[in-house]
Amino acid sequence: MELSAKVIAEYLKGEIEGNPDATVSELARIEEGKPGTICFLANPKYEKYLYTTKASIVLVNRSFAIQQKVDATLIRVENAYQSVASLLELYNTYTFEKKGREWPSRVSWRAKVGKGTYIGAFTMVEKGAVVGKNCRIFPQVYIGKNVTVGDNTIIYPGVKIYHECKVGANCIIHSGVVIGADGFGFAPQNDGTYKKIPQLGNVVLEDNVEIGANTTVDRATMGSTFIRKGAKIDNLIQIAHNVDIGENTVMAAQSGIAGSTKIGNNCVIAAQVGIVGHLKIADKVTIGAQSGVSKDVKNAGETVFGSPAYNINESRKLYVLYRQLPDMRAKLIELEKEVQRLKGEKPV
């Protein structure tokens, strides 16, 4: 798809500095720009590339002050990072051309599929399922009995959505995701064995949720596991039964949440975080990478870090002490020897 600077500026409500007829057909990083590509500058550490890039068009913030001559056509926007996201969305919409149902795929005669939805080869849509309008269901997807999928949702290859689960509108579910597998529920028996507890609930993904590749979201034992609207879940994450993740919360890769924990709205959970079950995390909480959360975080807006996780300020103090332990140990040994010498004892 080829776009001119004029068309892009109109779409992004930006201002052109340079040639309005400059055209691009690809997007690139600013340090790798070449003729026919569009780049963006949002991070000041990459400013040096603005003056050397071969890209045809560069998006910059309105407030950015140019220090040297720039060969590329500039488009000034309010926020270059957000604008490139909008541009990528436009580009993605134009480049996807598949429509209808590919063969072989199977849609139950008791399922409903909305107008404009694409269904790829080897996909199965079970009876009672309802798929909304203008969805993209890629090959080898399984949509179970009585599942609902909202309008404009994208489900990439290999996704499995078990029976009775609900997916909202404008969601994106990446390859390998499993939604609605059984929660980890087993009752210990007197003979040392475990009896499986039936998992009778479901999973509810509200609107505008994105789930990364190979993430699993377990169904509730009873009721629902919730991913609230606007939440963004990264790759390789485990979300256990009856967890409730709040609106617009983001969660980075390789993290896990144990059963029945409730995460507030607008939280940030960094990579490799572990959160035990039956906790409550307040709104706007940030949890640092590799933290282990073992108790409630009650204060909205708090940042916690460490394993076990503490308030970030307390955790920093503890870290300083940990680093001093070898020196403190050496000093303690010397003091013990000095005491022994003063007592007339032979140091050990």
Instruction: List the end-to-end C-alpha distance of the chain, in Å, as a whole number.
Output: 80
Show which residues are catalytic: 241
Structure-block tokens of residue 245: 């993740």
Q: Angle 80-95/5-12 helices, nearest 10 degrees?
A: 110
In contact, 113 and 131? CB cutoff 8 Å: yes
SS3 346: coil
Q: What single-letter DSSP state applies at residue 173?
A: E
Closest CA to 25 of 4, 53, 46: 4
CA 197 to chain centre: 30
In contact, 269 and 250? CB cutoff 8 Å: yes
CA distance 120 to 141: 8
Q: Hey, which residues does 340 pair with through a beta bridge?
A: none
CA distance 285 to 278: 17
Going from the C-alpha of 200 to that of each of 197, 277, 299, 342, the distances in angstroms are: 9, 19, 33, 73
